[in-house]
Amino acid sequence: MTDSERPVIAILGAGAVGLSLAGKLAGAARVYVLCRPAHADAIRERGLLMAGIWGDRTVEGIACIAGPEDLPPSVDYIFITAKGTGTAAICEQFAGVMREATVVSLQNGIGNEEVISRYAGSVIGGTVTTNFSVEGPAQVRVKSESGPMMLGVWSGGDAAAGLDRLIGIVRAAGIPVERSPDIRAGKWAKSLLNITVNPLCALFSVPVGATADDRLRGVIAHLVHETFAVMAAEGVRVPWATPEAYLAHLFGVQIPDFAAVYPSMYYDIKMGRKTEIDLLNGYVAALGERHGIPTPYNRCIADLIRFRESAGPAHPTDEALS
């Protein structure tokens, strides 16, 4: 396959997740990234430095863009890996390109795909449970992988055909990936971990493992019970039939797996950035209100994070859990 025959992929809002994906996908596609100027300058100067379980190497040939005018005339897939707080702005900026491409959301939280669907003809939802971190300008490390990337059709008549081709591209790049039969449920299942531990880690400046403390288990249990009630009202079925089944998985598998990790919300608070709380606990609370379901714990957690955001930055560090 010549370079001109390779699929064209644009990755918008490329931080730890997007840059790591760019480094792997560059082996199977022509990759364009929208990222911070410091990353773009470093990529142009000496390439993207990758380390960790996805390989230690320097990746060259990634093209950095400032806007849609820097993309080629035809783009096959657009990955959005930006924080959910930036989804609408990215969609507005790239609306012209998105109408003709299949758009893939690999973002934390619930609700991003609904925004993207207003701009794109075909939308694929995705989840990734991999520990990515940025260690410097255009320098990323992939520390651990808890499971394959999951991709599934969200909306659009051409999304199914686009999904099959995309899975082939991602596999050819060496990224574990599977087709999700129900990506909406998959997004909720992924978000359960973020809903339960991310805000607590951010509020108390502790790693994920600390949330197994007996004094926090009751709070977490209430968050999970409220979220399951909202999911039932939405018709969402996750792999765990009851809140108790998920809590057993959370404390027995997920929290131990990520015990030493500080989630991305922790770093957002430390660096004075807006968090994705409105796509997590805030989203649960809003849906609860719509369905007439009390969600006092999720509402309280969301308000506490919003208040903490208003206090400004503290001491930033450099690792994030996606």
Q: What is the pLDDT along the chain (322 residues), one digit of tens a residue?
A: 577 789 999 999 999 999 999 999 999 999 999 999 999 999 999 999 999 999 999 999 999 999 999 999 999 999 999 999 999 999 999 999 999 889 999 999 999 999 999 999 899 999 998 889 999 999 999 988 888 999 999 998 777 889 999 999 999 999 999 999 999 999 999 999 999 999 999 999 999 999 999 999 999 999 999 999 999 999 999 999 999 999 999 999 999 988 998 999 999 999 999 999 999 999 999 999 999 999 999 999 999 999 999 888 765 444 555 5
Alpha carbon distances (Å) from 101 to 9, 180, 259, 289: 10, 20, 38, 35
Cα–Cα distance measured from residue 122 to residue 106, given in angstroms and rounded to the nearest whole number: 15
Please, which residues bridge with residue 73 across strands? none
Which amino acid, one-letter code, is at 310? Answer: S
CA distances from 27 to 24, 104, 193, 210, 214 (A): 6, 19, 31, 39, 46
**What CA–CA distances, in Å, run from 89 to 150, 153, 217, 218?**
25, 23, 37, 38
The span from the CA of 100 to the CA of 74, in Å, is: 8
Q: Is 278 helix (H, G, I), strand (E, B) or coil?
A: helix
Paired with 210 in beta bridges are none
Q: What is the DSSP string of 253-267?
A: IIHHHTTTPPPHHHH
The pLDDT of residue 320 is 57
| Predicted local distance difference test score (pLDDT) of residue 1 | 59
Residue 276: predicted pLDDT: 96
- Indicate the pTM of the whole model: 0.90
* Distance in angstroms (rounded) separating the CA atoms of residues 155 and 280: 22
Residue 122: its pLDDT value, please? 93
Neighbours of 213 (CB within 10 A): 12
Query: What sections of the chain are H helices per DSSP?
Result: 16-25, 37-46, 87-93, 95-98, 112-117, 159-172, 183-204, 214-234, 243-249, 255-257, 264-270, 281-291, 296-310
Residue 214 CB contacts under 8 Å (≥ 6 apart), including other chains: none
Please state, in angstroms and rounded to a whole number, the distance separating the CA atoms of residues 136 and 57: 15
Work out the widest C-alpha separation in the chain, in whole angstroms.
Answer: 59
